[in-house]
Amino acid sequence: MQECITALCICWMKGSINMRQVAITATILDKRGRVLSIGRNSYIRTHPLQAKCATAVGEPHKVFLHAEIAALIKLRDWSKAYKILVTRYTKDGKAANAAPCKACQHAISLAGIALVEHT
C-alpha cells in the first residue's frame, strides 16, 4: 500500500508543479489504510484554517496552503482520520524531508490524527 501511495504522489507531483518549487503531498488514511483525502501545497492559494493555525503557533507569514491542511480541508469527517503521510520527492523521484511545520502540526492535532509519517 505504501508503494502505491508513493507512486501516486510522484506522478501527481511531476504533472502539477514547477520543479523549482517544492511539491509536497499529504495523504490521510483511516485505520484500515484506506485513503480518505489527498492534498498538496500551493504557492498561490490559502485558506482560513491555514491562517488560523499559522497565527496560533506564531508564524502568521505562513499563509500559503500547505499539503497537510489542504488534505484536512478536503476531508469530510475528521473523526475517521487515523494517519497522515506527508511526502516530498525531488524531480528525479528521490524522497526528501517533509516533516510537518508547526502550523501543520497544530492542525493535525486539532483533527485528532494519531499517527504522522513523513519522508
The CATH number assigned to the domain holding 32 equals 3.40.140
The predicted pLDDT at position 7 comes to 55
What range defines the domain where residue 8 resides? 2-118
- Note whether 42 and 17 are within 8 A (CB): no
pTM, to two decimals: 0.82
**Number of domains observed in the structure of the chain:** 1
Cell, residue 98: 517533509
Mean pLDDT of each 10-residue bin along the chain, 119 residues long: 58 52 90 97 93 96 94 96 94 88 97 96
